[in-house]
Chains A and B, each alone.
Chain A
Amino acid sequence: MRLPPPGLPWNPTRWVGRLLALSLVLAAGSAFAEPLRVQPHWVPQSQFAGFYVAADQGWYRDAGLDVDILPHGPDYPASEALARGEADIALLYLVQALELRDAGVEVVNVAQLLHDSSLVIVSFADRDILAPEDLDGRRVARWQSFRMQPEALFLAYGVEPEIIDQGSGVTALRSGAVDAAMATRFNEMVELYLSGFEPEELSTIGLEEHGTGLAEDGIYVLESTLEERPEAVKAFVAASLRGWQHAFEYPEQAVDAVMQRVQQHGEPTNRAHQSLMLKVLRSLYFDSDGRLPAPVLDPNDYLMAHNLMNNLVGLEREPADYDTFHRPVLDARPE
């Protein structure tokens, strides 16, 4: 307990100063901050660490934004929230954005975060699935929402597995119900490791390595939002990238931020899982020089995604031009 210095129980000048400071903070927090609702596309986890760090560090507030990260999870699909206008900003996979666009929702990509695919088809080393060819006739689970990439793989390698709709995790694989399943390197692969499987006991077929990987996490807004509030969007992207850089540089702090949200949300995950996830994400996000690349979507990635979509599920509409779809608010690498 700190006691006031003897003889100075009341110092009017100091109190006036404090009141002034308080009013300034309040003004920055409410009167001048621009509200922004952000919808991540999955439950709280390290996949969104950069945003949590930016929020906790106060970088959104410093940029004049009052960012509200909406509750998220399987019951709150980000694409729908964006389409319905319940969120100003959504985090989406490139494919999800293209699907929205094809459904007539004019979303635009303002920053591409994850340039490569993190998806793999995983099996156990003793099940003889070491290459795409080995999948022929096997029971393979794949997520409905990420069906294009594995199915493009099957097509490319001329294999016809028995395709099963995959639930959320890899329990079906573990229980032996399927021979192989889809997994992200940063989540399900970590989950398998934390279930006691050593990397050498698993076999993985990376989609990126086999040419059917697509760019993943990006920041999306409706075209109208970008036109009406370009500064806010730009400020959000800049603060978020700063948050990501910081998250990778100070992973303990980032995992603290993640775990705080995990506990609020009551997720049955643990620190080990989130730490390992962040570690994998770092290797996916970072360039070889240990920094985030410019948040720009590669035109070839965009083209390839369209082609895959057209070939595998068909397109309702003429796809938008690359320049219409991708409106990078920052085109340089974050400092």
Chain B
Amino acid sequence: MHAPSKSLAVRLALVTVVTVATIFFTTSGLLYYMVRDIMLDHAEHQARELTRATAGRIEASLNEVAGSGRTLAASLTQGGHDPEAMRPLLESITTNTAAAQGAAITWEPEAAIPGQRYHGPFVYEGPDGELEYMNLGGDDFDYFTRDWYQIPALTGEAFWADPFASAADPDRLITTFSTPFSMANGEADGTEELGGVVTLDVELRRLTETVDAVEVLDSGFGFLLSGQTRFISWPNSDWIMRESLFSLAETLDEPELRELGRMLQRQEEGFSRLPRALLDEPARLYHVRLPDPDWVVGVVIPERELFGDVLRVMHLVLIIGSVGFLILLGAIIAISRGITRPLKGLVTSAGEIARGNLDQPMPPIRSRDEIGELARSFNDMRLSLKDYINDLTATTAAKERIESELKIARNIQMSFLPRRLELSRMQADVDLHADLLPARQVGGDLYDFFTMQDDRRLFFAVGDVSDKGVPAALFMAVTKTLVKGIAEQEPDPGRILERVNNELCLNNDSGMFVTYLCGILDLDSGELVMANAGHNPPLIRRVDGTAEWLKLAPGLVLGAMEDMPYATQHLHLAPGEELLLYTDGVTEAANPAQDLFGEDRLIRLYGELKGRAVGEQTAAVMKAVEEFAGEADQADDVTVLALHFVGPAGGRT
């Protein structure tokens, strides 16, 4: 016995833990993603509110500036202003517009003052906060080609310039709102033409402060981008006003950034993933594009924070789960061991039983579960087996005794059969040889021959009891004894059979019977009388050597019915003629294909045995039957009796 390669306990534990772990991790993963989605939805909602609120504040601030500008432009379009005395109005606008740090009116060439190409009164907050004044325009400052002038002048619509750094202080970001105004062209039809452009400067610090003030969780932040996605407000100050998403896309070789830039330029509002290049960690971004100027306001929330709580919970769940698995593994191994330990005892006991040791007591198993039942059944089996083997031993001993008795019975039976003719005369006048091969140890066939009291006549017979074994042998012994006794008193075969039949019928409760063929040969005259009780007809070989069946009157088997007549048939044997008597063990011998030996085969064989000694004849028939049967079991006793009539002494030469 060798140990199994993987014990049941380990296998059970592995399969259970792997199955449970798969379920656990799948469930945890799904749960994580579901909660993540919920968190994401939640974050999107929050980010949307926050971004919209911030965008609203910026818009309000810019709208105030635009409103002041439009009011001034409308007022200039109405007319009635002295272009050379605009300073007080500009100062009032600059002061009253919270977001504006400067205001200017720039006229078309010669439109303000005849003969003067440029006129641009400009009020602005100086470095110390005082309002200062200057007149824009001149050969070194041709404002007509400046975007803030040219674009509203050409389009007739307000324009927000891209933010730019102040020349005086690069840290100050400025943008300009400009809007055109008209003036009467002096013609009678009252048509108007472009008078010039009103501009208001807005310092972006207040806007960027609004954006910078945005706080989302711990590290989320707000940002502001220009229409070209240039950074106006962003945590990395190196990028401000220098880099845009498009320039970073090139410098960092991150095409994703360019895609983001184009998306922000086209999509009014949205929640999207922030490329890693911008923050070095995964993050989400919510943006709103302002209607005018087309800047982008947004907030960025790092996923680390967004999903931080979920991740912490998941980590805890995973730790608890992992510890749980270890405990589960231990528990299953312990339980399995509890199950398999008694099994191991059983295995040892079974091995002992296999070796035949039935006295080995079973290991004590107290459990009341299936294992306990198994152990009890096993013990019962052991005990039953032990009893059975004891019985078997006794039975075998009995059988051996019977067999030995049967052997003795056979010897006795065989000793019933005559061995040789006693008389020398007979030996001179007739040759006779008989042989019997019993099917079992004790057979039912018989043959017999003896000389009558007058010493001139020879009695010979062949019979076959309907059964085999000891009862048949006894029946045969009875028959033989009866025949011999009666034959001495009444040397007529028919009478002998009648009397033997009646004797056998008395007290024949077992229903056994015997077929019997007998004859009495007068050795001097060759006279032969025969009677047949249901037996196979004998073969006769004439002097010329031809073998033929000897036709005898039929008679009933002996022992079947009382008072049956048996005809005595008178024949004559010429010297040199031969007889062959046999039982149906010869003709009904079967080969493995269940073909019978048959009478034809027997007569042909007998024909071929012409001239051979009677002993050789019986041996040849026996051998032929044995060869024919081959591997097949011998079903019946085989008996052959051969007789050669030499004739009276004179017949012998």
Contacts and interface: CB of A to CB of B under 8 A. Distances in A.
A47 interface: no
Given A171-B151, A175-B151, A194 B228 contact: yes
Contact of A266 (B155, B165, B261): B165
A187 interface: no
Contacts of A171: 147, 151, 161-162
B192 interface: no
Contacts of A270: 242-244, 247, 251
B247 A176 contact: no
| Max count, chain B CB within 10 A of own CB: residue among A144, A164, A165, A177 | A177
B159 A175 contact: yes
Given A176-B155, A194-B247, A276-B250, A269 B242 contact: yes
Given A195-B246, A196-B229, A196-B262, A167 B251 contact: no
A273 interface: yes
Contacts of B251: 270-272, 275
B147 A167 contact: yes
B146 interface: yes
A165 B154 contact: no
Contacts of B155: 175-177
Contacts of A272: 243, 246-251
B424 interface: no
A266 B262 CA distance: 27
A178 interface: yes
Given A75-B140, A177-B155, A272-B251, A172 B246 contact: no
A42 interface: no
Interface string A66-108: 0000000001000000000000000000000000000000000
B151 A177 contact: yes
Interface in B248-266: 248-251, 258, 261-262, 265
A193 interface: yes
| Max count, chain A CB within 10 A of own CB: residue among B154, B229, B258 | B154
Given A75-B140, A266-B165, A275 B246 contact: no
A172 B150 contact: yes
A270 B170 CA distance: 15
A259 to B, nearest CB: 10
Contacts of B244: 194-195, 270
B66 to A, nearest CB: 16
B150 A177 contact: yes
B542 to A, nearest CB: 131
B151 A165 contact: no
B250 A196 contact: no
Interface in A243-290: 266, 268-273, 275-276
Interface string B117-157: 00000000000000000000000100011110011001100
B242 A172 contact: no
B590 interface: no
A165 B229 contact: no
B164 interface: yes
A139 interface: yes
Contacts of B487: none
Nearest to B160: A175
B247 A164 contact: no
A29 interface: no
Nearest to A164: B154
Interface string B208-243: 000000000000000000001100000000000111
Nearest to A166: B145
Nearest to B243: A270
Interface residues of A, number: 27
Contact of B247 (A139, A167, A271): A271
A171 B446 CA distance: 141
B3 to A, nearest CB: 69
Contacts of B241: 268
Given A175-B159, A268-B242, A272-B250, A165 B262 contact: no
A319 interface: no
A268 B164 contact: yes
Contact of A177 (B154, B258, B265): B154
A334 interface: no
Contact of B250 (A166, A176, A194): A194
B228 A196 contact: yes
A318 B177 CA distance: 49
Contacts of B262: 196
Given A139-B154, A177-B151, A270-B242, A165 B145 contact: yes
A196 B246 contact: yes
Contacts of B229: 196
A271 B248 CA distance: 9
A298 B228 CA distance: 40
Contacts of B250: 194, 272, 275-276
Nearest to A176: B155
Contacts of B165: 266, 268
Interface in B283-339: none
Contacts of B154: 139, 164, 172, 177-178
Contacts of A161: none
B145 A194 contact: no
Given A175-B159, A194-B250, A164 B228 contact: no
Contacts of B146: 167
Contacts of B228: 194-196
A58 interface: no
Interface in A144-190: 144, 164-167, 169, 171-172, 175-178
Contacts of A139: 154
Given A196-B228, A266-B165, A167 B246 contact: no
Contacts of A172: 147, 150-151, 154
A84 B329 CA distance: 94
Given A175-B155, A194-B247, A196-B228, A165 B164 contact: no
B150 A164 contact: yes
Contacts of B243: 270, 272
Contacts of A165: 144-145, 150
Nearest to A144: B145
A123 to B, nearest CB: 15
| Max count, chain A CB within 10 A of own CB: residue among B147, B243, B249, B258 | B147
Contacts of B248: 272
B242 A169 contact: no
| Max count, chain A CB within 10 A of own CB: residue among B170, B247, B250, B251 | B247
Contacts of A194: 228, 244, 246-247, 250
Interface string B612-628: 00000000000000000
Contacts of A268: 164-165, 241-242
A165 B145 CA distance: 6
| Max count, chain A CB within 10 A of own CB: residue among B150, B159, B161 | B150
13 contacts: A166-B145, A167-B147, A167-B150, A169-B147, A171-B151, A172-B150, A177-B151, A194-B228, A194-B250, A196-B262, A268-B241, A270-B251, A272-B248
The 6 residue pairs across chains A and B that have the minimum distance between CB atoms: A272-B250, A272-B247, A177-B154, A195-B228, A167-B145, A270-B247
Given A195-B228, A196-B228, A196-B229, 14 more contacts: A164-B154, A166-B145, A167-B146, A167-B147, A175-B159, A193-B246, A194-B244, A194-B246, A194-B250, A266-B170, A270-B242, A270-B251, A272-B247, A272-B248
